[in-house]
Amino acid sequence: MSSSNEKNDPLYNYDPFQGFNSSTFPFFDYNNLLVYSQAAPTPPFQGLDSSYMNFTDCLHDQNCFSRPFFDMSGSSSDVVAPVHDNISNSKQTVDDSVRIKIDNTENPSTPNSSVSSPSNGGTAVEDSSKTNKGSEHEKSKKVNKPKKERQQREPRFAFLTKTEIDVLEDGYRWRKYGQKAVKNSPYPRSYYRCTTQKCGVKKRVERSFQDPSVVITTYEGSHNHHIPTTLRGNNITSSAAFPHEFLAHYFFPSTSNHQEDQNSMQHQSVALHQHQQQQQLQVSDYGLLHNLVSSSTRKQAP
């Protein structure tokens, strides 16, 4: 009964990426963006064969976004813990997002929302970790510092993108601040920070060593500004113009009250219209990602 209505529903038919294609953004293969889902008791994208799905397919799956990968509002933190048994070499036995949750449990005075409010305090987390450094050349790194409180992380989530390109364009400007070799992987992990002042969004990019055609992009935090005027003279007016950012905003909408931001995040409302339930979705760790990649690869193999 609802199907015909849905067909006529502009929101149902709305494709936030219409107009964006390989000719518009040849560097961004958005059709190969794979929405990663955290290991969950049930497949997050039910009805699909693989553990992840085409991004645009996901957009048009009404139930897709209504199934949380990981519900921060849940009560149990052991939802994902057992899965980490599969992570043979990772000592990171608990996902960071879970840690946040655990920390909040231990410290009830810490509001849960503090981890997703970068618009007015997005740099707070980072600032707290830099208080002993700043611009001064304090080479006294070995000086005993007062034991700082456990740093709260911004909410994170990751995307798997099937692409040959190592660094995907997402419309924002990033500055690389580190690169590390990934254990048991020939591919390094790169660390990026948003170059916009007072925007503490970070992202990590690495290529899956189990499926080198897949790039894993992990976003931490959400932008408190628009996409800057971008490449090739195109001015991307919506911060959600790119799939990564769309999901980022969808999962972790900015708390900004600026009208401009509200307008620019119309895509959020579309998503919200679809399920009207704000869920906090989280990312899993790389072990899980790699497990998913490998399992999917196995499934897709002839």
Partner DNA sequence: CGGGTTTGACCGGCGC
Partner DNA sequence: GCGCCGGTCAAACCCG
Binding residues for DNA (CB under 7 A): 89-94, 96, 99, 126, 129-130, 133, 137-139, 141-143, 145, 147-148, 150, 173-180, 182-183, 189-192, 195, 202, 204
Q: With respect to DNA, which residue has the nearer C-beta, 127 or 164?
A: 127
Closest CA relative to residue 291, chosen from 79, 89, 11: 89
SS3 of residue 39 by DSSP: coil
Beta bridge partners of 192: 176, 203
Number of H helices, E strands in the chain: 10, 7
At closest approach, how far in Å is the CB of 21 from DNA? 25
At closest approach, how far in Å is the CB of 200 from DNA? 9
Cα–Cα distance for residue pair 87/287, rounded to 1 Å: 5
At closest approach, how far in Å is the CB of 80 from DNA? 14
Cα–Cα distance for residue pair 60/221, rounded to 1 Å: 25
At closest approach, how far in Å is the CB of 35 from DNA? 20
Q: With respect to DNA, which residue has the nearer C-beta, 183 or 299?
A: 183
Q: With respect to DNA, which residue has the nearer C-beta, 63 or 195?
A: 195
At closest approach, how far in Å is the CB of 178 from DNA? 3
| First-last CA distance in the chain | 39
> What is the C-alpha R_g of the chain?
19
For residue 178, what are the contacts with CB-CB under 8 A and spacing of at least 6?
Answer: 190, 191
Cα–Cα distance for residue pair 156/100, rounded to 1 Å: 11
At closest approach, how far in Å is the CB of 70 from DNA? 16
Contact by Cβ (8 Å): 242, 170: yes
At closest approach, how far in Å is the CB of 125 from DNA? 8
Q: With respect to DNA, which residue has the nearer C-beta, 64 or 72?
A: 72
Q: With respect to DNA, which residue has the nearer C-beta, 27 or 177?
A: 177
Which sign does the torsion angle of CA 101, 106, 111, 116 carry? Answer: negative
Q: With respect to DNA, which residue has the nearer C-beta, 236 or 271?
A: 236
What is the helix (H) or strand (E) element at residue 286, kind and residue range? helix 286-300
Q: With respect to DNA, which residue has the nearer C-beta, 123 or 297?
A: 123
Q: Other C-beta atoms within 10 Å of 34: how many?
A: 24
Q: Which two tokens stand for residue 75?
A: 């009560």
Which sign does the torsion angle of CA 237, 166, 156, 250 carry? Answer: positive
Q: With respect to DNA, which residue has the nearer C-beta, 96 or 245?
A: 96
Q: Which two tokens stand for residue 201?
A: 């969004």
At closest approach, how far in Å is the CB of 180 from DNA? 5
